[in-house]
Structure 1
């Protein structure tokens, strides 16, 4: 059976297909289907084979494109991988620069800067133009043309490293350095470099070039603890960055790659070489001429300051910094603090104290000192927290708390005056035993009956102790608080001898009401706080509890305390023709020696001792009183002498009238005959009795002129 299909059997078969077949045969000629090859259609083009060179070029281009594509994908993957650690760019923001506190003396002189940077931020518009130009020419000469990352610079550094066979220099732009300083750690890793580039591009999109340069200048480290251009200018040249010369700007720009290695103080030759290189870069970029560069490089050694000595004003700056939260809350911007400090008095106090410790400290076994001076309204004019701030920043005037010894006794006597005693009240100096407590005088001797005035002037311990017991220690504590003490006192009899610790600052300020007519004060060192733009954040206003003493009480206290410097233990503090008063203090085993004195203009306190509380061989009436006099003498030059305030007239005529009196709270009979005697003669001690406080008003009894000589012989230093 024949299963072959004929043309008529096909779906497209029929006359038309047949006709096409006939036409094809008709056109085939002699080369038709009977044996010849069909002709090639005449209208088709002939393909030519590619040459070998062309195939290589095309293949190489294809390969490069493929590699580029793959490299782009790889880079994109790396960017995404490390970029995700940064979070969304919508959450990125430039972190706030640590705030700077500029501390000024009362005359506007800079004391120092406080904060993490060592100087305030300055605007790019505040700086001479060549400051930014020097940095750009040295660090990133295509700064104003790239987009945050410099491909040309990267390629240049890459070729350089290939030739050198190792790392030669960095290729980070200024923007990348800002990104690193603001957001990243200094780790040299691929991830950190990728993140740095991403952040740099973001910075360029959100900040102008000048803003980025300003960020850089205020955040970059210049060595020697200075961060930012202002801190660097103050550190190395003692001037503001606003006043930098061309040569100084070039030197600061030159040391940026390695601030420690090129430090102008320790390596001036290296710094000078870097300066010349920076100036040459500025010439190359067209910022300055050759002549300007040559002139700027001359005599730079004379412009570099020696390392600034950390003077005693640093104690004041530390104190100011510690007060910022109390005045402003959290400080979140640069501020300028104007203080009450008298620069000349501060330097005089620093000199006197250092001289005293250097010349006498070793012989008398003391190594430290502190001093506080304030006006009668409590404004601190000078404060020395120690001999050498660079050796110890511990503030012995503000932070340290030591026993004041007899320097606290005036507040015991004041409490007694408020209970009805007077300077002419008679007390008895004799051995005392109160419930097992047996206070003694420093020399172990007793004078018997004595006026309160003389007992305070010669710092007799038993009389102060008797007063505290008679009026009650709680009344002494109440009076101390009223006078401005902040210490948590315990109302025990020993408070009479100054055994509870206080700071020199609060002790000195507590004497101020005696000098100002009875008004309580709060020691103050800050008068004004402003932003760097001049916005006032704080302004000093009168503070304090107001009047706390009567005129008579002020007069009585000044009468007694003047006697102490005229004839008592504080005679070495006498201030020429200036009316003044004060009290010495020496603690057990001479571990602390103090003198606090005042005039109608100033109040000052001095402390000497050792940080480890070891004994000295100094009394309050010796070197502390002399230091007070030497500082105050200069501070009072040009001031008009003024009498101390108060309204009390002491008994001028002392008449020996035979009489008998009963001592308050002791019941001890005392006659006027027991008071009389020759200078230096010690009366026989009166019988010791158990002391029982009584509610009895003291009686003022006149004494003869021999008591002063007697006390001076027994207690005078």
Structure 2
């Protein structure tokens, strides 16, 4: 870490007086322990800050104080002189002094005193300023101390490497300097800092020129900040007006110029400057305003982008196009006057500037996914320092299709309800995510954050628990009316069928038969199966649990189906595939959570093929017929009481997808069931996904039917999490109850 040289006995690394002797108590501060040492440093810093504050006040008020004091002293001197003249007797007038007498005129005592006071004050002003600068060097954080915090930045890409759209409008983007066209760099330098490659960070010539112009205009007509100073303001300092901040800015500017090359500073500036409409950096602005990559912008567009820097919220294509054109013409004038473009280039660019219009991106997608992934991206460890490039799992073709299909089906049905969809690859990668009907109206992510009843989609867990306990699809169970402490489940059509096979009961989604079987298996066993499949939300162990009365996010239910489909437990959705530096260094592959094994998992996995048979029967000859595809598919419908929620979750090929429809206020929908609108949306989306040419290559996983057996227990993670972990059976001892399987 770079430090300033010690001056005047000050240790600039500690910010406290240096001494080789012991303190007053006879004990070295370092030997007293951290608390005393830290308190000494804190006291030293507090004292230094007080000195700096007083110095700053003195420098700011010095001129005014001198002026007011001078007027007061002169007035008092004049009063004393007049008084003494009145007292003097004509007979005792003093001998004449001055040129006539040959003796020098001696000023009165008050005038000599005033001169001494004013001289001392004027001499002290530079001392005050110098002291302020020295204290700023010592007390204010230097570039290295602030750099890690200011320069860390995450840039997101979709699964194909394109910039990911953030917040519905602004792409996450970062471009190396060599990808910017020369005319774009020249446009920025010409209008913002023409001597960028000549000065050392602070351009005295530009400051003087700006001061002169401002004096002539009677206002602020021009600024003198360099690109380096602007980058320091953007990246390191809070927007406040104070002497200490200006001193800090100057110090950091010089440090930045010594640390980085001009090219590095210019690259950081072009990727950090705010250009309005939520666009930070030239790459984002080029995409937002002209739907262009930075390397493809024209000369006129480059001049327009440079023109926005001065007042981005006011001068931009979407806010005031005419103001942008006028300032863009000034940029072209400056480029021509400085010899950066010739007359012909300038003329053609002016013609294009006169007809310049914004061209925003036609497609904005992945907004709910972007919000979800940015919340979790900061938890990645280890993450590359500086600017890191995060390759996400979002597949733009699937995402656009999901948003389009949902909107079309809801509009065709005349439904004002909300909808959510999440599509996972066999390794857990999120290929598409829709959190609502219109992101512009509501940013709430119903695929991740909404707690809603899953309805009969939870029956899959009930039947899986039964199969794991030894039931078989052909076993007969009772579908009859029952009363459990006042709870009486009723089938959708109000009829009871007596003895039916598990296969038929599941395909027809019979409520009474399901609750009867759940009571036989045991609600605790069903809850344990749900937990093993990765459902973390609270499960109320009442008979209604079997019919999906507990509230569970759509993504958790879809993950549970993913575990059954792939045979890997735990099955966790993830959204970031890899992380690396901008130049590709330090690439970190973020692999999915490995599968575990153990007695409970083994029992569940032994039953997954029978469970898949039941789920396929739902689509072939049950409540999910509208979800049918031209290839094998498995899934389950779900409808809660009074159609407050309607769902369809299932898989085919290498996609596991969940769809939910409902009202935010939990009011009933008019006749919407899981086998209707959700099944139709699911089917159309799956057709698109399965027909995409690269669908099987993005996630790097094969068809679900050929998914390999689950991996072994994650010993490293389990040992880290539980001191009582036993590698022989992958279990740990909780605070109470029997040993449990570690599913980390």
Distance 1:430 1:619, change over 3 A: same
- Tell me how far apart the structure 1 counterparts of residues 612 and 254 of structure 2 sit (CA, whole Å): 73
Deviation at 1:282, TM superposition (A): 1.1
Counterpart pick for 2:574 among 508, 515, 524: 524
Query: Which residue does 1:589 correspond to in 2?
Result: 642
The alpha-carbon deviation at position 278 of structure 1 amounts to 0.8
Matches within 5 A, 1:2-41: none
Match of 2:316 in 1: 263
- Check 1:337–1:357 CA distance in 2 against 1; reply closer, same or farther (3 A cut): same
Q: Which residue of 2 aligns with 1:341?
A: 394
Bigger Cα displacement from structure 2, 121-130 vs 285-294: 121-130
1:84 maps to which of 117, 132, 135 = 135
The answer to whether the 8 Å contact 1:328/1:537 transfers is no
The whole-number CA distance in structure 1 between the counterparts of 2:665 and 2:362 is 25
Q: What TM-score does the superposition give when structure 2 sets the normalisation length? A: 0.70
Give the stretch that moved more between structures: 505-514 or 123-132: 123-132
Give the alignment of 1:62-77 within 5 angstroms. Answer: 74-77=125-128
2:424 corresponds to: 374
After superposition, the C-alpha distances for 1:129-181 in whole angstroms (9 at most, x for unaligned) are 33332222112223344454444434433343333333333333334333433
Q: Is 1:625 equivalent to 2:653 in the alignment?
A: no
Aligned counterpart, 1:317: 370
Structure 2 residue aligned with 1:444, among 494, 504, 509? 494
Shift of 1:511: 1.9
Deviation per CA, 1:27-58: give whole Å up to 9, x if none: xxxxxxxxxxxxxxxxxxxxxxxxxxxxxxxx
Between the aligned partners of 1:205 and 1:603, the Cα distance in structure 2 is 54
Shift in Å at residue 188 of structure 1?
A: 4.6
Q: 1:416 to 1:75 in 2, by over 3 A?
A: same
2:136·2:247 contact (CA, 8 Å) conserved in 1? Answer: no
- Contact 1:134 1:250 (C-alpha < 8 Å) held by counterparts: yes
Corresponding residue of 1:290: 343
Provide Cα deviations, 1:66-110, integer angstroms capped at 9, x if missing partner: 999986753452353366356357844453435333333333233
Q: CA deviation at 1:422?
A: 2.1
Query: Residue in 1 aligned with 2:185?
Result: 132
Cα distance between partner residues in 2 of 1:219 and 1:68: 47
Residues of 1 paired with 2:322 and 2:406: CA distance? 38
Change (3 A) 1:300 1:359: farther
Matches within 5 A, 1:91-240: 91-93=142-144, 95-96=147-148, 97-112=150-165, 119-188=172-241, 192-193=245-246, 196-197=249-250, 199-201=252-254, 203-204=256-257, 207-240=260-293
Shift of 1:407: 0.7
2:456 — aligned with what? 406
2:50 — aligned with what?
none
Q: Secondary structure at the match of 2:413?
A: helix
Equivalent pair of 2:628/2:683 in contact (CA under 8 Å): yes
What's the secondary structure of 1:87's corresponding residue? helix
Any idea what SS the aligned residue of 1:327 has? coil
- Corresponding residue SS for 1:511: helix
- Does structure 1 residue 571 correspond to structure 2 residue 625? yes
C-alpha separation in 2, matches of 1:478 and 1:145: 70
SS at 1:320's partner residue?
helix
What residue number does 2:591 align with?
540
Could you tell me the TM-score, scaled by structure 1's length?
Answer: 0.72
Alpha-carbon distance, 1:309 to partner: 7.1
**Does the 8 Å contact 1:99/1:115 carry over to 2?**
no
Q: Structure 2 unaligned segments of length 5 or more: list them.
A: 1-116, 697-701, 708-744
The answer on whether the counterparts of 1:600 and 1:645 sit within 8 Å (CA) in structure 2 is: no
Asked if structure 1 preserves the Cα contact closer than 8 Å seen for 2:570 and 2:595, the reply is yes
Give the secondary structure class of the aligned counterpart of 1:219.
Answer: coil
Kindly indicate whether the alpha-carbon contact (under 8 Å) linking 2:299 and 2:349 is maintained by their aligned counterparts in 1: yes
Secondary structure in structure 1 of the residue aligned to 2:487: coil
Range with bigger deviation, 599-608 or 510-519: 510-519
Q: Per the alignment, in what secondary structure is the counterpart of residue 221 of structure 1? A: coil
Q: Distance in 2 between matches of 1:581 and 1:480?
A: 19
Matched, 1:554 2:608: yes
> Which of 514, 518, 525 is 1:468 aligned to?
518
Deviations 1:599-653 (A, max 9, x none): 243322110012222221211111001111111122223789999689xxxxxxx
* Distance verdict in 2 for CA 1:74–1:183, change over 3 Å: farther
Contact preservation (8 Å) 1:373, 1:602: yes
Q: CA offsets, 1:521-550, max 9 Å, x none?
A: 333333322221212122426722367467
CA pair 643-186 structure 1, distance change in 2 beyond 3 A: closer
Partner of 2:394, secondary structure, is coil
Are positions 1:511 and 2:561 aligned together?
A: yes
* Residues 1:68 and 1:266: Cα distance change in structure 2 (over 3 Å): farther
Distance 1:185 1:574, change over 3 A: closer
Distance, in Å, in 2 between the alignment partners of 1:329 and 1:397 is 28
Greater CA deviation, 346-355 or 477-486? 477-486
Q: State how far apart, in whole Å, the 2-side matches of 1:218 and 1:643 are.
A: 42
Whole-angstrom CA distance in 2 between matches of 1:326 and 1:151: 44
Structure 1: which 5+ residue stretches go unaligned?
Answer: 1-65, 647-717
Residue 609 of structure 1 is matched in structure 2 by 662
C-alpha RMSD over aligned residues: 3.6
Q: In structure 2, what is the equivalent of residue 434 of structure 1? A: 484
Provide closer, same or farther for how the CA distance between residues 453 and 200 of structure 1 changes in structure 2, counting only shifts above 3 A: closer
How many residue pairs are counted as aligned between the two chains?
A: 577
Deviations 1:541-576 (A, max 9, x none): 67223674678733432332233223321111111x
Structure showing greater Rg: 1
Distance 1:147 1:321, change over 3 A: closer
